[in-house]
Amino acid sequence: MIKKYTLVVAFFALVLGSCSLEDDEPNFNFKALRIESAELPESFNLNETYQIKVTYLLPDGCTQYEGFDVTREDTTVRNVVAIGVAMTDLVSCTQAVIQEEASFNFIVKYDQPYTFRFYQGENSDGEPEFLEVEVPVN
């Protein structure tokens, strides 16, 4: 019984002793990606679902696409941001900017025109800039 207890205590001491509290720093951060263009239909039909295709830029080899953040600013105004994850613990990254495409589904719930505001980065004053597209609803 004492040998079994000693082994269990030794195992936990090894596991707990091998953890470093200094490694609690995250090894990634989220960043907004620049949206270059978006493909939307000329008009929507009420209560239908549409696939919206977006072209965005990955700024370097350490950043990967994670998804979209689509927020409602008003009843029919949507802000769309492509989200990337930048790994901070990689030793070297390519500096090549890569253009990629992804899409999201959108359900038309209102009979008013929709305005989509696609994030395109910040201007020289640090203010966000958007590509705005209005789509009427039949």
Query: Is-contact 133 78, C-beta < 8 A?
Result: no
The mean per-residue pLDDT over the stretch 31-51 comes to 98
Structural tokens at position 36: 């270059």
Q: What pLDDT, on the 0 to 100 scale, is given for residue 24?
A: 65
CATH number of the domain at 24-135, please?
2.60.40
> How many residues appear in the chain?
138
Could you give the C-alpha distances from 59 to 14, 97, 121, 129, in angstroms and in order? 41, 5, 12, 17
Domain boundary assignment for the chain: 24-135
Tens-place pLDDT, residues 4-33? 444 444 444 444 444 455 556 668 899 999
Could you give the C-alpha distances from 74 to 99, 115, 117, 131, in angstroms and in order? 30, 9, 12, 17
Say what percent of the chain tops pLDDT 90.
73
